Amino acid sequence: MRQSFSRDQSHEDHQKQQSYSPGLHSELLLANHRQFSSSVKPDYLDTWIASAKTVPVQKKDNFNTKFVIALFSADATVRALDGYSTVKLLNDPCRCFHESDPIAPKGGSIAAEAAFQAGALAAVYGGAWLLNRHHHTKMARALLLIDIGSESYAVGRNFTRTRNVSPVGTPLQHISLQK
């Protein structure tokens, strides 16, 4: 609500304010000066400033799609099968099987094999996530697919190995413990 004062009343109020605070008079003059400023801002300036301040909203690239979750699940399943078959072969009483993966645990311990497979799965998934984060989505999926393929091959070889039959191309040597 705007109040209107007569000229004498507003002058008296101004005099009272000036007597209480001497700096207020200069602030009122500056405020009045700003109101009557003759500077005009061009219209294109608002558009230019507005376009400079706006940042386009980036689409969040979601890595956990149904396809990637299916690949991760397949990789986890194949790794679990590889761990099971490796422990089964390494704990065979004949001791005629060995681990061909140079970084995998060699002792046949269930805990060591489970930790190795979980760590390998985390490393592969982490690598795929980093590739996706740096906009290499096809390479991220390819990494998961390659790991599934290599682990499937290892599981296939592990399940076809027995004491008497070896897969084609891998000679099975029995070590006789009796002399």
pLDDT for 36 equals 47
**Would you say residue 129 has pLDDT above 90?**
yes
pLDDT on residue 84:
93
What pLDDT is recorded for position 68? 93
- Which of 21-30, 40-49, 68-77 comes out lowest in average pLDDT? 21-30
Instruction: Dig out the tokens for 120 from the structure.
Output: 């390998």
* Contact indicator for 129, 140 with CB cutoff of 8 Å: yes
pTM listed for this prediction: 0.58
Q: Say if residue 102 is exposed, middle or buried (CB neighbours under 10 Å; 0-12, 13-18, 19+).
A: exposed
